[in-house]
Amino acid sequence: MTEPKITDSHCHLDFPDFDGQLPDILTRAAEAGVHRMVTICTRLRNEPQVRTLAEAHPQVFYAAGTHPMSAGEEPMATVDELIALAQHPKFVAIGETGLDYHYSADSAELQKQSLQIHIQAAQETRLPLVIHARAADDDMAQILSDAYRAKPYSCVMHCFSSSAELAKAALDLGFYLSMSGITAFPKSRELRDIFATAPLDRILVETDSPYLAPPPHRGRRNEPAFTALTARRGAEVFGLDYADFAAQTEQNFERLFAKVAAHRVAT
């Protein structure tokens, strides 16, 4: 029986954890029904390698930005730089960017500056913004909301594991929430409850691999094939058959990542 098609909306295929193993990883993903993935470049100096990876595999698309935990170490991105990168046909989102005060509170001001630059690039390119948020809910909600009021843009709160308040702020702006393996952890009931109150047409699924593998692989390396495990838990959260939940998240992904859908039509 063929598995329902699903998309891993956020992974890191260029990380050393996958060195020399990508063909097998892509095969396992296809066997699990994961027919597409967006691999995220977290430091702009690595963009050429990530671009090459996407060019080499028809099912792989990519995004690039400066991860907030790297904002204090990397050269500040420019709006023009991000806009130029976005001209590539397989470059489909801006980021990931955001705020992380859990590990990197000392670079908070640089993170805010970087986030504003990425938001402007998303506004100019009309590509979705990919947000990483940890221990910075109030600042994150304020910055995203203020920028949206100035000029609307689209956005996904990747690997969402923040508060109900931040979820509401994002959803009120029309943004999307993405389920990662954290959603499937046994002790994540409160997080599942937050997702359960969200509109079904605003939900994506992802791995954030190589991190955050869902059960029964928790504590080991994650990979795109495991998107299906998180999505099965997501189907339970929404009281749906897996095939119906997978089909809905596919529609959601193509609505937000319109460049991916257009690329499929063009090819």
Return d(Cα 12, Cα 118) in angstroms, integer.
19
Per-residue DSSP letters for 104-170?
HGGGHHHHHHHHHHHHHHHHHH-PPEEEEEES-HHHHHHHHHHHHHHS---EEETT--S-HHHHHHH
- Is 206 annotated for ligand binding? no
- Is 158 annotated for ligand binding? yes
Give every CB contact of residue 255 below 8 A, 6+ residues apart in sequence. Answer: 201
Beta pairing, strands 155-157 & 34-41: unpaired
- Is 96 annotated for ligand binding? yes
Give every CB contact of residue 62 below 8 A, 6+ residues apart in sequence. Answer: 38, 39, 40, 41, 50, 51, 53, 54, 90, 91, 92
The C-alpha angle 88, 160, 237, rounded to 5 degrees, equals 115
| Residue indicated by tokens 């509401």 | 168
- Is 132 annotated for ligand binding? yes
- Is 35 annotated for ligand binding? no
Among residues 97, 138, 101, 100, which one has the least CA distance to residue 118? 97
- Is 57 annotated for ligand binding? no
Q: Summarize the annotated binding site as residue ranges.
A: 10, 12, 96, 132, 158, 208
Binding-site members for a divalent metal cation are: 10, 12, 96, 132, 158, 208
